[in-house]
Chains A and B, each alone.
Chain A
Amino acid sequence: MAVLNAPRIVSSRSEFADSFTLSRYLATGGYQGLKKALGMHPEAVGAEVDAASLLGRGGAGFPAGRKWSMLRRAPVSYLVINGDESEPATFKDHFLVERDPHQLIEGVTIAAYALQVTQAFIFLRGEFALGLERVQQALNESYEHGALGANIFNSGFSLDIVVHPGAGAYICGEETALIEALEGKRGFPRIKPPFFPAAIGLYGAPTVVNNVETMANLPWIIENGGAAFAALGAGRSTGTRLFALSGRVKNPAMFELEMVKNSFRDLIFDPDLGNGIIDDRAIKAFIPGGVSAPWFGPEHLDLALGQDEVAEKASMLGSGSVVVFDETTCAVRAAWRITKFFSRESCGQCTPCREGSGWLERIMFRLEHGGGRREDLDLLLDLCDNIAPGLSWPPQQTTICVLGSSIPSSIHSAITMFKDEFLAHVVNDGCTHG
């Protein structure tokens, strides 16, 4: 049974049609967290976030408080918010920037205060045209209201936030590629070392990069205390999280759920949540955290929605997006489409990623559309192994960023879980699904 009694931390205003306006925001407790934070010592603000154990919501799940405190010695110059959200089947940040931009701005301001930076950038995916307008509008209101700009709420703290539009490239979600795009360049991820953002980030200066949802949690955490946040969830996975459910379910939607307290089964089948599979068919498999993650079969449905719980089973909760396959879903076709995505979105720097993704995609295309050979299966796995040696999770890398090493996930999962289906594609010279 799903546990649905947790507070709504980041999606509380979603019922209101005018949730994105300053008046609604103020009427629903907006900017109280910021006011409180400004009365605290910056380090005390950081300490609350540390106590909350707020894991980054961008995919890697690194604790935000730790990230900040690592930078205590090197004064941080810039705070950059990652709103590139392009991981397939992920749509939480889209929701947050369009529906509650003030919450984001308040969170950013709190983080900026804790880090003592005076310049922040919100990088938003270019395709979020409405989101860009809403955030810009909210920024204007916020400046006007005194919640942003010079001498915020008479605290002596000043902050400028620039919203920076992307222009259509998944790789710009990778934090160093995002920094390059913010510097007006091609979104090529940087080599690490030496370009760890915390050391050599935007304009070569120490930089913190955090996800939109990570920021959106901050007003609540400051208002209610880190301990209250940490009291939700379990283990390292505290608080609530936005889960984006899509694919073959009756009610594809976004749900804010307390971490760990619910299982994938709850998310997919609970009548208040996913409400089961379309036409009540059988579930075939699901991706637990964005298309970079290895797939799970029905045997993992009872796994709790927690970061470590999923990691233990060699996949990841990632961006919090769950895609459900049912028996009508062709595993070859699904893996082919995901591979095509990586091939299109590879930035093109690293040979294994650039050439490997295209090669894999063409083999998968042949298997799906006719022309597949039996030996293609071994070839696929061996090429995958050359991109991510060992085919383990978390993957080993031969590339600059983990886009490369994520490419094999879907193919490897599909071949391991549905080898017969591949062989049928070979025998039938293509797909026979509907």
Chain B
Amino acid sequence: MSHLRPELRQRAEETVALYPQRRSAMLPLLHLVQEQDGYLSAEGMDEVAELTGTTPAEVRGTASFYDMFHLEPVGTYVVGVCTNIACLLAGGQELLQHASERLGCAVGSTSPDGLFTLEETECLADCNIAPCVQVNHRFVRTTTPDSFDALVSDLREGRRGDEVPPHGTLNRVRRVGGLRVSRTQIASERSTALAARDARTTAEPK
């Protein structure tokens, strides 16, 4: 019995097929588990182990290396405020402090209503709009306490649905096309491509 919903399970299997080795699909698959469960459930990690040919200990060990993966449930909205150097110089530390008070939870924890998890992040690569804030890994371009408050009300009232999908949803665009379809097709396409390459590279450049 698959823990992933059929539609996600299918995406997972397609993802595995994209890579020459199964284990490569580890990070994308963990994102899928998070898309379904909001965090990395034990059942989800077990399934990733099966799909990638690894042990559950390796899956959990790998996942825990990466900040975006949550081994415990988190709030509906994971709010990240950057305090790294450019944001620090623009008041990131203060904005984080404000967020903590406003959301009613300490940095690294979840608000009592379960709606928000607040994180202090490292640089998010949007330093010209500092301090930088992400919600569920979407840049919300909110740099002042006031605009932060507005953001929180919007989220509470579900006004940013399009912009901010549920936590864990990373890439809403499905892959269409590409070389990789079935294993055998990949192999044959690759060998024709390699033969063609040999033909080209042995010819002298003009």
A–B touch (CB < 8 A): the answer is yes
Least CB distance, A241 to chain B, in whole angstroms: 16
Q: Is the CB of B69 within 8 A of A246?
A: no
In this assembly, does A150 line the interface, its C-beta being within 8 Å of a C-beta of chain B?
yes
Query: Is chain B's binding surface mostly helix, strand, loop or mixed?
Result: loop
A165-B171, A334-B88 known; A130+B178 contact, CB < 8 A = no
* 9 residue pairs bridging A and B, Cβ less than 8 Å apart: A118-B193, A126-B27, A126-B68, A132-B170, A161-B178, A165-B28, A166-B66, A184-B24, A247-B86
Which residue of the partner chain, among A158, A245, A337, contacts B179 with CB atoms under 8 Å? Answer: A158
In this assembly, does A139 line the interface, its C-beta being within 8 Å of a C-beta of chain B?
yes
In this assembly, does B151 line the interface, its C-beta being within 8 Å of a C-beta of chain A?
no
Tell me the A322-366 residues at the B interface (CB within 8 Å): 323, 325, 329, 333-334, 337-338, 341, 344-345, 347
Q: Is the CB of B205 within 8 A of A323?
A: no
- Interface 0/1 of A123-160, CB less than 8 Å to B: 00111111011001101100110001110000011111
Q: Is the CB of B139 within 8 A of A246?
A: no
Further 11 A-B residue pairs, CB within 8 A, beyond A42-B200, A186-B62, A247-B85? A44-B205, A88-B123, A94-B125, A128-B125, A140-B173, A143-B177, A164-B28, A185-B23, A185-B26, A186-B65, A337-B84
Tell me the B158-193 residues at the A interface (CB within 8 Å): 170-180, 189-190, 192-193
In this assembly, does B122 line the interface, its C-beta being within 8 Å of a C-beta of chain A?
yes
In this assembly, does B5 line the interface, its C-beta being within 8 Å of a C-beta of chain A?
no
In this assembly, does A182 line the interface, its C-beta being within 8 Å of a C-beta of chain B?
yes
Q: Point out the residues of chain A lying under 8 angstroms from B197, CB to CB.
A: 42, 75, 116, 118
A125-B125, A337-B84 known; A130+B27 contact, CB < 8 A = no
Which residue of the partner chain, among A40, A133, A167, contacts B68 with CB atoms under 8 Å? Answer: A167
Least CB distance, B27 to chain A, in whole angstroms: 5
In this assembly, does B21 line the interface, its C-beta being within 8 Å of a C-beta of chain A?
yes
Q: Is the CB of A183 within 8 A of B134?
A: no
In this assembly, does A181 line the interface, its C-beta being within 8 Å of a C-beta of chain B?
yes
In this assembly, does B83 line the interface, its C-beta being within 8 Å of a C-beta of chain A?
yes
Number of interface residues of B (CB under 8 A): 68
Which residue of the partner chain, among A88, A166, A167, contacts B122 with CB atoms under 8 Å? Answer: A88
**Segment with Cβ contacts to B, from A248-256, A383-391, A422-430:** A248-256
Q: Is the CB of A90 within 8 A of B123?
A: yes
- Interface 0/1 of A227-256, CB less than 8 Å to B: 000000000000000001111100011100
Tell me the B73-90 residues at the A interface (CB within 8 Å): 83-86, 88-90
- Interface 0/1 of A178-199, CB less than 8 Å to B: 0001111111000000000000
Q: Is the CB of A144 within 8 A of B31?
A: no
Instruction: Report, nearest first, the 7 A-B pairs whose CB atoms are least far apart.
Output: A184-B26, A143-B177, A168-B67, A167-B66, A160-B179, A184-B23, A41-B205
Q: Is the CB of A116 within 8 A of B200?
A: yes
Number of interface residues of A (CB under 8 A): 80
Q: Point out the residues of chain A lying under 8 angstroms from B69, CB to CB.
A: 167-168
- Bound-state CA distance A89–B200 (Å) is 43
Q: Point out the residues of chain B lying under 8 angstroms from A160, CB to CB.
A: 178-180
In this assembly, does A169 line the interface, its C-beta being within 8 Å of a C-beta of chain B?
yes
Q: Is the CB of B85 within 8 A of A89?
A: yes
Least CB distance, B177 to chain A, in whole angstroms: 3
Q: Is the CB of B126 within 8 A of A165?
A: no
Q: Is the CB of A345 within 8 A of B66?
A: no
- Interface 0/1 of B134-167, CB less than 8 Å to A: 1011110000000000000000000000000000
Least CB distance, B153 to chain A, in whole angstroms: 23
Q: Point out the residues of chain A lying under 8 angstroms from B180, CB to CB.
A: 160, 162
Q: Is the CB of B179 within 8 A of A167?
A: no
Which residue of the partner chain, among A93, A137, A248, A252, contacts B125 with CB atoms under 8 Å? Answer: A93
Least CB distance, B62 to chain A, in whole angstroms: 5
Q: Is the CB of A127 within 8 A of B125?
A: yes
- Bound-state CA distance A287–B190 (Å) is 46
A157-B196, A244-B127 known; A133+B24 contact, CB < 8 A = no
| Closest partner residue, chain B, to A245 (CB atom) | B128
- Interface 0/1 of B24-50, CB less than 8 Å to A: 111110110000000000000000000
In this assembly, does A47 line the interface, its C-beta being within 8 Å of a C-beta of chain B?
yes
Tell me the A233-286 residues at the B interface (CB within 8 Å): 244-248, 252-254
In this assembly, does B103 line the interface, its C-beta being within 8 Å of a C-beta of chain A?
no
- Bound-state CA distance A386–B101 (Å) is 41
- Bound-state CA distance A362–B176 (Å) is 49
Q: Point out the residues of chain B lying under 8 angstroms from A185, CB to CB.
A: 23, 26, 62
Tell me the A285-317 residues at the B interface (CB within 8 Å): 287, 291
Q: Is the CB of A170 within 8 A of B122?
A: yes
Q: Is the CB of A136 within 8 A of B62?
A: no
A42-B200, A130-B138, A158-B189 known; A253+B128 contact, CB < 8 A = yes
Q: Point out the residues of chain A lying under 8 angstroms from B196, CB to CB.
A: 156-158
In this assembly, does A421 line the interface, its C-beta being within 8 Å of a C-beta of chain B?
no
Q: Point out the residues of chain B lying under 8 angstroms from A187, CB to CB.
A: 65-66
In this assembly, does B203 line the interface, its C-beta being within 8 Å of a C-beta of chain A?
yes
Q: Is the CB of B65 within 8 A of A169?
A: yes
Q: Is the CB of B86 within 8 A of A118?
A: no
- Bound-state CA distance A183–B88 (Å) is 34
- Bound-state CA distance A42–B201 (Å) is 7
A158-B189, A186-B62, A337-B88 known; A166+B27 contact, CB < 8 A = yes
Q: Is the CB of A149 within 8 A of B179?
A: yes
In this assembly, does B6 line the interface, its C-beta being within 8 Å of a C-beta of chain A?
no
